Structure 1
Amino acid sequence: MNWTKFLDETMGRIGSLQAQTPKMFEGFNTMGKAAKKSGALDEKTKELIALGIGISTRCDSCIGFHVKSLVRIGTTREELCEALEMIGYMGGGPSIAYSAKALEAYDEFAAV
């Protein structure tokens, strides 16, 4: 999978939905800003949690968005793989398969 192309296409679809449902996106964006605000947990920890949820719910878009954020904030491949171990442990075989996708996305985004 080309993760960059996939996320670009996803953003196009989301943009079309947002044009039709601006109030929903306004609320979602407000909730996102509140959830992402650094406090007792830093941004990296929150993004790793979000990635774990994205993997456990089998959401390719979520995996792409959160891995891209993790690369942006300087998460190392070693940190990601350690998180993927925990995600695989908690989610079993399906989470391991989706963790492999997350690692593939990391390698693509980190190479840019």
Structure 2
Amino acid sequence: MAESVSETVRAFSEGIRGLAKESATGAVMKAFHAMHQAAVAPGALETSTKELLALAIAIATQCDGCIAWHVTNAIKAGATRDQVLETIGVAVMMGGGPATYYGSKAAAALESALAGA
């Protein structure tokens, strides 16, 4: 992740907002947002745990924007540095070499998010 995590999250958010404004994708984005909110709402699992799950999947699917987004949201939801790092470890175990590379990106995003960048 060459840019800071806040820049990545900002660019990701702007892209999502742009899609939401388009007539061809607006309804889909509104529904996606509602699904996202429902999926991370506290239930049997806390929101922070759900964000950590999403982070592991983001690493495995190699999505830079998703990594930055879910690291940031996990921290905001109360996940600790060690919880994020353990999540990265599980993602690496499941995803092998490619997950190792994207896990290092997640670790960099974590440090950037904790520093407020």
TM value normalised by structure 1 = 0.92
Q: Which residue of 1 aligns with 2:91?
A: 87
Q: Which residue of 2 aligns with 1:10?
A: 12
Give me the whole-angstrom Cα distance separating, in 2, the residues matched to 1:29 and 1:9.
17
Q: Which of the pair is proportionally richer in helix? A: 1
User: Which amino acid letter does the alignment assign opposite residue 70 of structure 2?
Assistant: H
1:11-53, Cα deviation, whole Å (9 max, x unpaired): 2222221110221112112211221121111111111110011
Q: Which protein has greater RCO, CA pairs closer than 8 Å, 6+ apart?
A: 2
TM value normalised by structure 2 = 0.88
1:25 aligns with 2:29: yes
Q: Which residue of 2 aligns with 1:111?
A: 115
Q: Please give the secondary structure, in 2, of the residue aligned with 1:65.
A: helix
Q: Report how many aligned residue pairs link the two structures.
A: 112
1:57-108, Cα deviation, whole Å (9 max, x unpaired): 1001110100001111232221111111111111101101101100100101
Give me the whole-angstrom Cα distance separating, in 2, the residues matched to 1:56 and 1:18.
26
* Change over 3 Å in CA distance of 1:33–1:6 after alignment to 2: closer
Q: Which residue of 2 aligns with 1:46?
A: 50
User: What's the C-alpha RMSD, in Å, of the aligned pairs?
Assistant: 1.2
User: Which amino acid letter does the alignment assign opposite residue 84 of structure 1?
Assistant: I
1:57 aligns with 2:61: yes
